[in-house]
A and B are shown apart, each in its own frame.
Chain A
Amino acid sequence: MTETAQPPYPAAEFGDGTTDPPTIPLPPVPADGAPGGPSDGPSGGPSDGSSHGPSHGPSNGLSGLETRDLTAWFGQRKVLERVSLQMRAGEITALIGPSGCGKSTYLRILNRMHEMVRGAALAGEVLLDGEDVYATGRRPAEVRRRIGMVFQRPNPFPAMSLYDNVISGLKLAGIKASRDERDHLVESSLRQAGLWDEVSNRLGTPGGALSGGQQQRLCIARSLAVSPEILLMDEPCSALDPTSTRRIEETIAELRHRLTIVIVTHNMQQAQRVSQSCAFFLASHDTPGRIVEAGPTERLFTSPADPRTADYVNGRFG
């Protein structure tokens, strides 16, 4: 693995600063080489599926995502340390781990939402199709459009109709589209999200006038409408009932052939059902979050290499 932690990225250099969301100057990184003690094998470089070199090449037209030595801070507190993981194109990668181990933080780093938190800092590389997402001069807005995100709580825009919610990405990113294009986009996005049949006759109602599960699928449709290459999902089903969860899982499975998905979940069965790869994060009270083990989901669940993984996936802690 590479030895040097990357220098922090100065926020002032992202874009022109007038149109972008506020970026926060990142505090200086402590001298590298700090992780001495507990970095025994599984933390930095897993000896399994995710370590076979920079094979981020899109094999089937889809984009992959990779992080190298990603470290994150909130103020002075380090919450993630040297996380290296490869999320291969066209696969669904599940991130599992106990609460507070940094899964959401990791996910938000991937599409540059992390820097919107005051005092947040990071080091390392996030490669989208081999290009660093945090490269100097790269606009966060462009990255976020290519890497969509679905949040834990459904958050449709209440002041917009269902129709407007779906195409809100176009409006928000300043993309022009004709009336017909928009109609098609709304229908195809809603179909992909598995919501079309339920709402096609009331697209004019406000975004909040749906059940929780429908709202979440609306949010998925909204993310899909800007045709992202990657979709990040942070516990998309945690606020939902089993039926809605099932619908969303089906949706995710169908989407797999169109884009690369990274999903955070606390539900082991869900991780097993939907994902092909899996990464287990762990943090203890004084050490920041690390990847204990990553690899094909089946292997992780049937014959984990690390006893902590075995304990976790079998529900013995966390």
Chain B
Amino acid sequence: MSTTHPGNTLDALPAPEDRPGPEDRPAPDALPEQQRIRLGGVTREEVLTLAGAAGGSLGLDWLLYERILPFSGAFGFLLCWYLLFLALYAVAGRLQWDALTVRERLATALAWSSGLLVLAVIGDQIGYVLYRGLDAARHLNFFTESMRSTAALDPITSGGCLHAVVGSLEQLGMATLFSVPLGILTAVFLVESGSTRRGARLVKPVRVLVEAMTALPSIVAGLFVLGVVILTLGVEKSGFAASLALTVMMMPIVTRAAEVVVRLVPGTLKEASYALGASQWRTVWHVVLPTARPGLTTAVVLGMARGVGETSPVLLTAGFTTRLNLDAFHDNQASLPLFIWNYVKQPYPDMVARAFAGGLTLMAVVLILFVTARVLGRHRTPSERRTRRPLRATAATAATASAANKAAQVAN
């Protein structure tokens, strides 16, 4: 920097960080930038070995598959390639490194490749749905119209999934409204009531039940609501009935995820709360739940993710319609999974494209829900409004307040 020359008196007010240091000691930035030691990282020989093994195995695999062995098929080809790659990598590695290093590197390669595999599968799914669904999702009408006046062979520029989006959101919203308080309360019960002898006796069966419910096949949840609520209690097939079925699916997931985070709240915080004269439930409400809030959000998100994609409970309880039905309590109501299920089995390419576009929409809805929940679940940022206390005025009043306090104590 040029401003660090000593004796630069013309600069009336140099910025503090640019002010020249004492004459005898060089300013810090006069010294050359220090070379940082390379920590970890990969060397060129590692990368080349990896690339060589990958390339070599690909060639070998091609030779085997296309020229020698009587096999064919992409899956076998990829699997073979992977196995050959591991073998080649191990051999090439053994030529330069000792056995321990080779094992270490192989383990790293395995871990990385399984991670990449998961990414690839997800990418493939999204990409495929995108590819198939873009035909329909390209047209704005897909998001603004229902399928009410669209016949089987109508062009792709008519009809859409608006009714299904509305149905999905209403059903999921209601199911969340039912299952989240229920699930969190159950979690609190499981954690807090275990400390008394009476509670401990009830906690165990409840936990077993909740665990069993997580494994409940979703079609059974649908049958349960169909049998009890629709056929016995006489509620009509509607979004409301569907949301009840979704609640049955979501509640155990929310409960189990919430129980874990509620249990993680440090006991010292609860003790602090009790020592201030709080009751158990005030402690839960004011200390335990706020402290566990980020984790609780995850629990809610997990539950919603489970609920939004459920097809079979909705199929039995909501009916299906092509019209937009805003009223969740009366008449059939479509939802996105039902929309997909209904159109993907039709023999018309445009209908199948609409189904894939519906899948795309469903993924977008899930993404939006996730992001919203994450944002809501963060600890509130420091509320700055509280920092502007009336500081000057209160010095005197504080004295009077403590005096009054003392007076009150003397009085009683």
For the complex formed, measure the closest distance between the CB of A137 and the CB atoms of chain B, giving whole angstroms.
Answer: 16
Contact count A vs B, C-beta below 8 Å:
147
Tell me if B277 and A145 are in contact (CB < 8 A): yes
* Chain B 277-293 near chain A by CB (<8 Å), digits 1 or 0: 11111110011001101
A212 to chain B, nearest CB (A): 14
Least Cβ–Cβ distance between A61 and chain B, in angstroms? 4
> Do A201 and B280 touch across chains, with their CB atoms under 8 A apart?
no
Asked if A191 contacts B271 (CB within 8 A), the reply is no
B199 within 8 A of A: yes
Report yes or no: A61 in contact with B383, Cβ–Cβ below 8 A.
Answer: no
| Complex interface: chain B residues within 8 A of A229 (CB) | 409
Say yes or no: B286 contacts A171, CB within 8 Å: yes
Tell me the bound Cα distance from A148 to B278 in angstroms.
Answer: 12
B402 interface residue (CB < 8 Å to A): yes
Residues B401 and A184 in contact, CB atoms below 8 Å apart: yes
A168 & B389 in contact (Cβ 8 Å cutoff) = no
User: How far, in Å, is B62 (CB) from chain A's closest CB?
Assistant: 58
Asked whether A111 lies within 8 Å of B379 as measured between CB atoms, the reply is no
Complex Cα spacing A41 to B402, Å? 44
User: Considering only CB atoms, which chain B residue lies closest to A173 in the complex?
Assistant: B277
On whether the beta carbons of B275 and A113 are closer than 8 Å, the reply is: yes
The smallest C-beta distance from B401 to any residue of chain A, in angstroms, reads 5
Q: How far is the CA of A142 from the CA of B278 in the complex (A)?
A: 9
Compute how far the CA of A204 lies from the CA of B268 in the bound complex, rounded to whole angstroms. Answer: 23
**Total number of B residues with any Cβ neighbor in A under 8 Å:** 47
Q: Which A residues are in CB contact (< 8 Å) with B277?
A: 141-142, 144-145, 169, 172-173, 226
Report chain A residues within 8 Å CB of B196: 22-24
Interface majority SS (helix, strand, loop, mixed), chain B: helix
Q: Write the nearest CB–CB distance from B130 to chain A, whole angstroms.
A: 40
B40 proximal to A (CB < 8 A): no
Could you tell me how many residues of chain A have their Cβ less than 8 Å away from some Cβ of chain B? 58
What's the Cα separation between A116 and B196 when bound, in Å?
Answer: 9
With a cutoff of 8 Å between Cβ atoms, the chain A residues found around residue B273 in the complex are 157, 168, 172
Contacting pair A204 B387 (CB below 8 A): yes
Contact with A along B378-409 (1 / 0, CB 8 A): 01001111110111001001100110011001
Q: Given the complex of chains A and B, what is the CA–CA distance between A68 and B227 in angstroms?
A: 65
Nearest-CB distance from A268 to chain B (Å)?
Answer: 27
CB distance from B274 to the nearest CB of A (A): 5
Contact residues in A for B268 (Cβ distance below 8 Å): 151, 153, 155
A223, CB-defined interface residue at 8 Å = yes
Check A202 for interface membership: any CB of B closer than 8 A: yes
A107 to chain B, nearest CB (A): 11
Cα distance A69–B117 in the bound complex, in angstroms: 69
The A-contacting residues of B in range 18-44, CB under 8 angstroms, are none
Stretch with Cβ within 8 A of B (4 or more), from A159-167, A290-298, A300-308: A159-167
**Least CB distance, B280 to chain A, in whole angstroms:** 5
B-to-A contact residues, CB < 8 Å:
192-193, 195-197, 199, 266, 268-269, 271-283, 286-287, 290-291, 293, 379, 382-387, 389-391, 394, 397-398, 401-402, 405-406, 409-411
Q: List 28 A-B contacts (CB under 8 A).
A: A21-B279, A22-B280, A24-B196, A24-B197, A61-B409, A61-B411, A111-B275, A113-B271, A116-B195, A141-B278, A155-B269, A155-B271, A157-B290, A161-B386, A169-B277, A171-B282, A172-B283, A173-B276, A183-B390, A184-B398, A187-B389, A187-B398, A188-B405, A200-B391, A203-B387, A204-B387, A206-B382, A223-B275
In the complex, besides A141-B277, A203-B389, 7 extra interface pairs with C-beta distance below 8 angstroms are: A21-B283, A157-B290, A161-B382, A168-B273, A202-B387, A219-B272, A226-B276
Q: Which 7 A-B pairs have the closest CB atoms?
A: A145-B277, A172-B278, A61-B410, A159-B290, A19-B279, A149-B275, A22-B196
